[in-house]
Amino acid sequence: MKILRTISDCKQWRAQVSLEKSNHSSPTIGFVPTMGALHIGHESLIKTSRKENDFTVLSIFVNPTQFNNPDDLKNYPSTIEKDLEMAEKNGVNAVFIPESIDQLYPDQYRFKVSESEFSRELCGAHRPGHFDGVLTVVMKLFNLINPTRAYFGEKDHQQLTLIKDMVNSFFLPLEIVACPTVRETSGLAMSSRNTRLSTAELALAPKLFETIKQIKNKEQAIKKLNDMGFLVDYLEDQTHFENDRPKMRRYVAATLGKVRLIDNVEI
């Protein structure tokens, strides 16, 4: 497994891989972008990429431009040794871990990709600039890795939708593959941030998914969550086209202790 630390490492690796032949054509590259502190949710993306492509690249980069809260950035968990073990065990071919922020932002974030509608709703309304940061870093990573397919979790459904829309809008030559949310047996969506929950919070956290699934009335669901000890940022039902069909989905974000949790469910 190759560790790539710089932009030139990435370019070199990518150029070398292009020379390899797969069934007399160019090899396929699957790309899994992450912020590290990997768990089984991330692993499911890696496994799907491995099945569908000749090569799989993982990136681990805690992208500062998508954090509007400095404490959240400072406290973001990091388990790099364990992450590399998981990547190796799953047959990842290369891991891009930029050695500095400047590697990805030589322009100091002077240029950005922004979207003016959906990115301002839900998480975007509560985390100003968040999706500008996400879309910009993902665009940079796509340009560097030049993947055939990139894998994103439905856990971050708004992000997934915006990335699909960006790929369509800029005619980017790759396929976005949506991967189902991996949950604990309790129903709690796996997340790197869950490691920051106390034992008591961890026991309560599964109620988030349970409540958004079970209580149809939005206001009642918000009240129930707030009464239980969550601080609900938003709970909204929205319809979007997914694979050309309208789908109604309920989106939620709520803070428990110091940790902001998000989830969504098709309704």
Q: How far is the CB of 44 from ligand AMP (least distance, A)?
A: 6
Which range in 15-23, 125-133, 179-187, 210-218 contacts ligand AMP by CB under 6 A?
179-187
Which range in 36-44, 47-55, 207-215, 239-247 contacts ligand AMP by CB under 6 A?
36-44
Q: How far is the CB of 192 from ligand AMP (least distance, A)?
A: 5
Closest CA to 203 of 214, 194, 212, 211: 194
**In angstroms, what is the C-alpha Rg of the chain?**
19
How many residues line the site for ligand AMP (CB under 6 A)? 17
Q: Pick between residue 26 and residue 79 the one whose CB is nearest to ligand AMP.
A: 79
Distances (CA, A) of 83 to 54, 96, 207, 221: 21, 12, 28, 36
Q: Which of 127, 140, 155, 207 binds ligand AMP (CB under 6 A)?
A: 155
Contact between 189 and ligand AMP per CB under 6 A: yes
Rounded (10°) angle between helices 207-214 and 218-228: 160
Q: How far is the CB of 2 from ligand AMP (least distance, A)?
A: 20
Q: How far is the CB of 250 from ligand AMP (least distance, A)?
A: 17
Does the active-site annotation cover 42? Answer: yes
Query: Residues 42, 130, 157, 240: which is the catalytic one?
Result: 42
x-marked contacts with ligand AMP along 37-76 as a string, rule CB under 6 A: ----xx-xx-------------------------------
Contact between 163 and ligand AMP per CB under 6 A: no
Residues engaged in binding ligand AMP (CB under 6 A): 34-35, 41-42, 44-45, 152-153, 155-156, 179, 181-182, 189-192
Give the catalytic positions in this structure: 42
